[in-house]
Structures are given as structure tokens and as C-alpha cells.
Amino acid sequence: MSQTLQSVRGMNDILPDEAEFWEVFEETVRSWLKSYGYRPIRMPIVEPTPLFKRAIGEVTDIVEKEMYSFEDSLNGEQLTLRPEGTAGCVRAVIQHGLANQIPRRLYYIGQMFRHERPQKGRYRQFHQVGVESIGFAGPDIDAEMILMGARLWDDLGLDGIELQINSLGQPEERAQHRAALIAYFERYQDILDEDAKRRLYTNPLRILDTKNPALQEMCAQAPKLIDYLGAESLAHFEGVQQVLKDAGVPYTVNPRLVRGLDYYNLTVFEWVTDKLGAQGTVCAGGRYDGLVGQLGGKATPACGFAMGVERLIALIKESGGEPAAPAPDVYVVHQGEQASRLAFRVAEGLRDQGIDVLLHCGGGSFKSQMKKADGSGATFAVVIGDDEAATGEAQLKFLREEGAAQLKLKVDDLAEAIIGQLIDSDEEE
């Protein structure tokens, strides 16, 4: 016998119980995005590899070790499964001239792929809600994006998600800081690990991102970027903080927050929880004023963030959140040839009236069908046998109340009776 095939390691099936939870989550997210004026965009999952190299940076974990890249065997093109959405979104904005209609507020929801070591909260296929605003230069949009996060946690009933912010300044300020960092790290050549040595002259800022405990103390004492920021960058950072203070959103300035992608400048931020173990960052982003120009568009400021859906769903569950289990209003039970034909007509007719119907499929005795009706969570069963079919009638049974009466009704009167009872039971709740 051949071996059963399994999903790829780190890439998960989302089964119906879980997927329903996701849908409720996505509904909340979509209405939250709409309330801030964001519009959807859907980009391909596969993009040309050079897009990510240029956008995210050659000397980053994502580009160096985590991309699923392959050659298209038909035309030799180098392609990559997207590890994130900002690069593709900006590519699409440039390609379709959307940048000429700036300012733009866009969002996407979808799969991303990174070849990381799978663990709780870290997967090789994961989902992000990405939010991008193109064409705004001031600190107001950075701050609004952060406030958006605070509101969503509230809408989702989550608390204890802490906000960390930092400013990465502008490229020339970072260049001065970089020179100081290199000089500093050169004094510690003997303790630098392989990764740090390799990054010393290519991307020394990334050394601060190290997970190696032996380097933590040295990194803590390293020159701080904030000390190299000029007046304009500091004013931008102040502007963001002012709005956060006015809105009463608590935050911590974390000078070591450098992010794992190279396109950022000025404001960067992360929302972090301690309830998910090591993978506690549920949302992260910042300003990326250079990216549109770098990818061939007209220089345009931009800012954005992305949330990890798996992590947020885990946090909602951890906080005792229950998905609203969607149940049909009606389960249609039927037996006999005439009854089955009528059952189809009844089910479609009820749906025409906006009633959610599960039509029993697969036959079986009345008793076993009634069990399924009960298990479905439906409020009513509509029961049709050949006797009822002959007179164009059906039994309406209320499933959620012990000993409730069973009504025999003309099938054309079912919708009215069901809607009436649904309204009554809503009022009682």
C-alpha cells in the first residue's frame, strides 16, 4: 500500500472548526479596516525573486536563508513564494500607476512563506493582514496606524499587548551610526559569532538583532542610533509620540528595535505579548519612504504594518475567546422519493427568504437524520415524508426547546412561520 501523503512541514491545514474561527476574525478585521478607509488589494503569491532581494535587502535572514525560491522550469525565470506582502504591494502600486493617485490606503490578507524552523507561532506558511499607506509623509499616519492596532485589540477583546516604538532615522543618519557601530564591534572581534562577523561590514545594525545570549551585553552597550538623529527625524518621532500620548496609548521606546527587513526609515513599531512564548510579536511595521523609489517608482513616502494571523488567533483563544459557531436556521429532514424532491424545493425557497438551510444529504432513517439535525445546531428541523409530500405539507419542529410543539404547515407558509419564530426568539434573548 502506498504511504499516505502529509502536508509540508510547517504548513498547516486549517480545518472547519478552526476556519470558522478565522472567518469571524477576518470579518472583524475587514470592518475595522473599512472604518479607517482602507481598500483591499490582492497580489500574486509568487513574485520575481529580485523584487524581494531589492526590497527586503540582500543581507537579511529572510533573503539569505528563508525564501522559497525556484527557477521556472519553462522559461528559466527566478521566482519566489512571497515571504511578506509589502514588496509585492509596492510593485503593484508602481506597475498600475496607483502611486499617481496617492494618497492610498491599502490592505491585503493572505499566505506568506518563510523557510524558518517551525515551532509554536512560527510556521513556514503563515498568514498576514498587511496594511499599507502610500503617499503620506508626516508622523500623523504613522501614529494613526499605531492607534489602529490599539483599537483592533480592543475590538478583539485582547489586552496586555504592549507597544514598542523606535526611530531608525534617515539613511545618512544611519550611515554615521553605522560607522560608529563598526568601530565599536571591531573592538569585540574575539567574541563575535560567525553571523556577526559576516555582518560586521555588510549590515552591522543587524548584529543588534542577534539572538545569541553571549552578544547581548555587548549589544546593549553599543552606540545608539537615536543619538545620531538630526532635528527633523527627532521632530517626526516626537510627532508620533505626541499623538500616542494624546490618545492615551501606552508605549515603550526600544532603541534596539531594528526590524528584520531593510526598507524601514524613521518610525518602526512592534506590538508584543508575553502570552505566546517566544513568538510574541503579533504585529509589526513602520515607515519605508525609500521603497517606492528603490523599486523604480517616483519617490513617494509610505508606511505600513502586518499582523500574524496565526499568532492573533492563538492569543484570542488563550484569552478565552470563543468563535461564534455558525449554525443553520433550519435542517431539512426528508425520506422517500417525492419527499426528497419537495425537500430541494423547500430548501431553495427558504434560502430565497434569507434563511440558512442545511439540506440533509445521504439518506438514512428519520431517526438518524433527526440526530444530525440536532447536532448541526439548527434552530428548526423541517421534516418531510411522502405523506406530507402528497399534500404539499411539512412538519416544523423547534429543536432548541424540550417538548416544543410540532406544527404541520403548508410548505409555502414555512418561511413566514420560521422568520416569525426567529424574531421572537431573538427578542427573548
Q: Where along the sequence are the contacts to ligand HAM (CB under 6 A)?
A: 84-86, 114, 116, 121-123, 126, 128, 130, 132, 260-261, 281-286, 288, 304-308, 310-311
Q: 7-32 burial, b if ≥16 CB within 10 A, otherwise e?
A: eeebeeeeeeeeeebbebbeeebeeb
Helix axes 139-155, 231-247, angle to 10 degrees: 30
Closer Cβ to ligand HAM, 151 or 351, answer by number: 151
- Cell 402528497, residue? 390
SS3 212: coil
Closer Cβ to ligand HAM, 108 or 380, answer by number: 108
Q: For the CB of residue 162, give the shortest distance to ligand HAM in the complex, in Å.
A: 13
Closer Cβ to ligand HAM, 293 or 420, answer by number: 293
Q: For the CB of residue 308, give the shortest distance to ligand HAM in the complex, in Å.
A: 2
How far apart (Å, rounded) are the C-alpha atoms in residues 302 and 292?
8
- Answer whether 95's CB lies under 8 Å from 112's CB: no
Q: 218, 27, 244, 50: which is closest to 140 by C-alpha?
A: 244
Q: For the CB of residue 141, give the shortest distance to ligand HAM in the complex, in Å.
A: 12
- Answer whether 270's CB lies under 8 Å from 146's CB: no
Closer Cβ to ligand HAM, 123 or 380, answer by number: 123
Q: For the CB of residue 124, give the shortest distance to ligand HAM in the complex, in Å.
A: 7
Closer Cβ to ligand HAM, 88 or 204, answer by number: 88
Helix ranges (DSSP H) in 114-230: 139-155, 171-186, 194-199, 213-220
Closer Cβ to ligand HAM, 107 or 228, answer by number: 107
Q: For the CB of residue 277, give the shortest distance to ligand HAM in the complex, in Å.
A: 13
Q: For the CB of residue 300, give the shortest distance to ligand HAM in the complex, in Å.
A: 14
Closer Cβ to ligand HAM, 121 or 149, answer by number: 121
Residue nearest ligand HAM by beta-carbon distance: 308
Q: For the CB of residue 103, give the shortest distance to ligand HAM in the complex, in Å.
A: 15
Which strands sit side by side in the sheet containing 69-71, from one edge to the other? 46-48, 78-81, 69-71
How far apart (Å, rounded) are the C-alpha atoms in residues 383 and 408?
9
Q: 138, 47, 36: which is closest to 90 by C-alpha?
A: 47
Backbone dihedral angles phi then psi of residue 260, each to the nearest 5 degrees: -95, 10
How do strand 330-334 and strand 380-384 relate by DSSP bridges? Answer: parallel
SS3 128: strand
Return the bridge partners of 359, or none. Answer: 332
Closer Cβ to ligand HAM, 306 or 347, answer by number: 306
Q: For the CB of residue 111, give the shortest distance to ligand HAM in the complex, in Å.
A: 11
Three-state SS string over 349-417 comes to HHHHCCCCEEECCCCCCHHHHHHHHHHCCCCEEEEECHHHHHHCEEEEEECCCCCCCEEEEEHHHHHHH
Q: For the CB of residue 406, give the shortest distance to ligand HAM in the complex, in Å.
A: 50
Closer Cβ to ligand HAM, 128 or 379, answer by number: 128
